[in-house]
Each structure stands twice: as C-alpha cells, then as structure tokens.
C-alpha cells in the first residue's frame, strides 16, 4: 500500500511540476512549449488512463469535441475537392490539422486532473507570478542599462523585449500570465490591497515599456473586470484607477519612445476606419504614403475568405492561400473565418456564448455562488479578454496561443462544473 501511495505521489509531483513550468516554457519558445505539454499529456494518460475512459463530457466539452471533429471534416472536404480538380493539396494543412489534435489531449488531461483534485493551482499561480515579475525586472534593466540580464540589447528604441530578443512579445507575455499574481494575496491573506497596488504598478510599467499597445489595453480591461466582479474589492476601485492614471501619465510624459508609440495608435485606427469602413481613402493611397498597420491583413483576410466562405481552407491554410501576406490575418475571428469558414466561426461563437451563459447568466453558477473560489476568477477574465473581438492577436492555431487558450478553457469549464454542483 505504501509503495502505491508513493508512486501516486511521484506521479502527481511530476505532473504538477510540468504544469507549473508552462509559463517558463513560453519564455523558452515553441519547441519547449510542445515538449512540456507532450510530457504533461503523456504522464497524465499513462498515470490515469482509467479515469480518462470514465470521463464524462458536459455540453461545453461536447462543443469542443465537435470543433475538433469539424476541423478534420474541413480537411477532408478540401482534400477531396483538390483531388477532384486534380490539384496538389498542401501538406502544411494536413500536418497542421493532425498536430492541432494535441490541444484536445491537453484539454482532456487537465479535465481529468481537476476532476481528481490532483492539479495544484497555487503552484501554477506562483510560477506565473515569478516569471511575470522576472520579465518585468529584465525589461527595467534593459531600459536603464541598454542591455538586459543576459546582455540582450533592444531591437527597437520604441519597444523593449527583454529575454525575448527580436520577438516583441514581452508585453503580451506579462499581460497573460501576470493576472494570476493578483490571486496570491488570497493565499497569503495579508496586506491584500498593498500587494495589489504593488503588483499593478510593476506589471503596468513593464507592459508600457515593452511598447505592446494591445496588451496594455487588455491588462487594463482585465483589471477593471476583476474589480467589477469581486465585490470585496469594489471599494478600492477609485484608488486603483487613480493609480493607473498616475503611472501611465508619468511614463507617457517622461519617455519619448512610449509617447511616440502610443500616440500613433489613434491615428492608425482612424486611418483603418477611413480605408475599410467609410472608404474615404483607398488602400493604394495609404500604402504609398502611410502604410497603416493591419490594413494589408484586413484586405488579405477578405480576399482569402471569399474563396471558401462556408467551410474555409483548413487549419493554417491562410499562409498557403494568401501568398505575399502575413502568416495570419492578425485577429482570431478573421483567421477562423478564413481557415474554418462560417460554420467553424459559428461553433466558436456558440462555445463562447455557452460559457458566458453558464458562468454568468444562470443562478447557482460560480459567479453567483456564495462559496465561489476567487482563485478560479482569473480563468474567467482571461477567457473574456482572450476572445475580445477587436483585439489584434497572433494566430489562433499557433503553438503559443492554442496552448494558452485550451489551458484556460479546460480550467474554466471545469470550474463551472464544480460550482454548479455545490
């Protein structure tokens, strides 16, 4: 009996260590993310295969299963169409579709572990907090000394990347993982507001110095939602807003790079509206004079979507069907429409609305429960922010984004199940 208990403890330790290392693997890159989730899935399936067989799927799970079935249906339809026309079908789409299946196994693995109460979320929160703070400190060092901890110089005077080098994604990393840090005071239960103020200042400055504008907007949105939902923190809402205003005002008026970077945002939005909505400017005119960001991506999206509106071209087909364009259209919803068509888009919308309905609009779910565990709240808020319609983003199907999305979905849907039973 003791041997069995020790084996189970070792298995649990390995699995939780792998899960806690996910934020670190995001720093190291896609290869390490894939390696991390491979071992996480492997140890979960190897250790708890009986639980996997007996796992019961709810409505939200079934929608996700339907989504994965549909992407293979799209692959089959496009492959048969190419075969019928005697055309060569892209191996990229085939490989990416089958590779994407790993995120379903990741989702199921997390569900099984949560059902058995084997996943130590506090350890994951602590890991997210540590690496988010580390990235911020690294950016501060790069800002003041011209090089970060590892001797990396910034590739742009307007944006600091820290350990990410030429990839200007530091702000996005902080925005995603730092939010879990706000729940550490729920563990320590001392000086909660003081810790919140300190964390907000550290992360806000880090994201601002990274020059990533959308992550900064999403950070503010996440934090405002946090204080709106948590009744115990609403009394400090004004204090937090004033703090954010002071921090950003100080940075904006004392840093030329930040000032130039963020001042360009409203101008770019205005030109996008004039080009694509009001048609006051032609794209040709803009491309010659101003080269407004995201203008080309929108035009490429429209061109690709018209080729197959209902089923799309398949997972990561945008890069195949839009030569000369970026590898993705810069928005989750645009990419889903291009790659999976209107039907795939509808499945995603149904999933989003179903989660919102079950999590918020029905009584006795976790947002209304008196026993609601606030340590689950970040998953709900990050889910809302991740699927914010007008945000600029990377590819929905990329390793970085897909891993994060399905982790959040698994944790959120499991939490909804748990609190509906209480």
Whether 245 maps to a domain, the answer reads yes
Q: Mean pLDDT over residues 167-192, rounded?
A: 80
Read off the pTM: 0.88
Whether 94 maps to a domain, the answer reads no
DSSP string, 290-304: T--TTHHHHHHHHHH
The runs of H, that is alpha helices, within 85-184 are 91-99, 102-115, 121-145, 170-177
HEC-encoded secondary structure of 163-224: HHCCCCCHHHHHHHHHHHHHHCHHHHCCCHHHHHHHHHHHHHHHHHHHCCHHHHHHHHHHHH
Whether 323 maps to a domain, the answer reads no
pLDDT of amino acid 262: 63
pLDDT class of 184 with cuts at 50, 70, 90: confident
What length is written for the chain?
Answer: 422
Highest mean pLDDT among 95-104, 249-258, 282-291, 314-323: 95-104
Whether 46 maps to a domain, the answer reads no
Q: Mean pLDDT over residues 221-245, rounded?
A: 73
Residues 59-101 have pLDDT tens digits of 999 999 999 999 999 999 999 998 998 888 889 999 999 999 9
State which residues form the domain around 143. Answer: 122-254
How many other CB atoms are found less than 10 A from the CB of residue 415? 22
Distance, CA of 184 to CA of 180 (rounded, Å): 7
pLDDT class of 51 with cuts at 50, 70, 90: confident
Residues 305-334 have pLDDT tens digits of 888 888 988 998 888 887 777 777 788 998
Q: What is the largest CA-CA distance in the chain?
A: 76
How many other CB atoms are found less than 10 A from the CB of residue 93? 23
| Residue 328 buriedness (CB in 10 A; 0-12 / 13-18 / 19+) | buried
Whether 7 maps to a domain, the answer reads no
Nearest Cα neighbor of 220 from 237, 232, 142, 190 is: 237
Whether 158 maps to a domain, the answer reads yes
24-61 burial by CB neighbour count: b if 16+ within 10 A, else e? bbbbeeeebbeebbeebbebbeebbeebeeeeeeeebb
Whether 217 maps to a domain, the answer reads yes
Task: Work out the end-to-end distance of the chain between its first and last CA atoms, rounded to an integer number of angstroms.
Answer: 32
> Over 70: is that where the pLDDT of 369 sits?
no
Residues 111-130 have pLDDT tens digits of 999 888 888 888 998 999 99
Considering its fold, how many domains does the chain have in total? 1
pLDDT class of 144 with cuts at 50, 70, 90: confident
Whether 274 maps to a domain, the answer reads no
> Over 60: is that where the pLDDT of 272 sits?
no
pLDDT of amino acid 275: 53
Q: Mean pLDDT over residues 32-56, rounded?
A: 88
> Over 60: is that where the pLDDT of 159 sits?
yes
90 vs 419, residue with greater confidence: 90
Torsion-angle region of 163 (φ positive above 0: left; ψ -120 to 50: alpha; else: beta) = alpha
Nearest Cα neighbor of 126 from 396, 399, 375 is: 375
């Amino acid at each position: 009996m003791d041997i069995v208990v020790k084996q189970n403890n070792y298995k649990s330790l390995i699995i939780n260590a792998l899960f806690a290392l996910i934020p670190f693997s995001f720093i190291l890159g896609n290869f390490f993310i894939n390696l991390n989730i491979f071992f996480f899935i492997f140890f979960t399936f190897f250790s708890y295969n009986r639980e996997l067989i007996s796992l019961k799927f709810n409505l939200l799970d079934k929608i996700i299963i339907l989504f994965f079935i549909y992407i293979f249906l799209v692959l089959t339809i496009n492959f048969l169409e190419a075969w019928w026309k005697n055309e060569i079908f892209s191996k990229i789409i085939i490989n990416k579709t089958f590779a994407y299946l790993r995120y379903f196994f990741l989702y199921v693995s997390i569900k099984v572990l949560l059902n058995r109460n084997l996943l130590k979320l506090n350890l994951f929160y602590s890991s997210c907090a540590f690496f988010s703070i580390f990235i911020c400190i690294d950016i501060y060092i790069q800002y003041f000394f011209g090089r970060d901890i590892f001797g990396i110089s910034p590739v742009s005077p307007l944006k600091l990347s820290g350990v990410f080098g030429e990839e200007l994604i530091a702000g996005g990393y902080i925005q995603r993982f730092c939010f879990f840090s706000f729940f550490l005071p729920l563990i320590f239960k001392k000086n909660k507001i003081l810790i919140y103020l300190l964390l907000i200042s550290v992360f806000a400055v880090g994201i601002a110095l990274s020059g990533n504008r959308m992550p900064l907007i999403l950070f503010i949105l996440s934090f405002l939602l946090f204080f709106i939902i948590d009744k115990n923190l609403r009394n400090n809402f004004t204090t937090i807003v004033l703090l954010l205003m002071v921090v950003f005002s100080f940075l904006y008026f004392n840093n030329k790079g930040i000032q130039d970077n963020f001042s360009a945002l409203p101008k770019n939005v205005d030109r996008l509206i004039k080009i694509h909505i009001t048609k006051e400017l032609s794209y040709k005119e803009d491309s010659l004079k101003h080269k407004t960001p995201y203008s080309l991506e929108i035009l490429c999206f429209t061109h690709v979507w018209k080729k197959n509106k209902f089923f799309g071209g398949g997972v990561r087909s945008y890069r195949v069907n839009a030569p000369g364009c970026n590898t993705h259209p810069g928005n989750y919803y645009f990419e889903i429409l291009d790659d999976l068509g209107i039907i795939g888009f509808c499945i995603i919308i149904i999933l989003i609305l179903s989660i919102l309905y079950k999590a918020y609009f029905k009584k006795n779910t976790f947002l209304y429960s008196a026993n609601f565990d606030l340590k689950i709240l970040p998953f709900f808020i990050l889910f809302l922010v991740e699927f914010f319609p007008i945000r600029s983003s990377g590819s929905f199907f990329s390793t970085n984004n897909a891993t994060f999305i399905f982790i959040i979905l698994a944790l959120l849907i499991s939490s909804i199940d748990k609190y509906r039973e209480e």
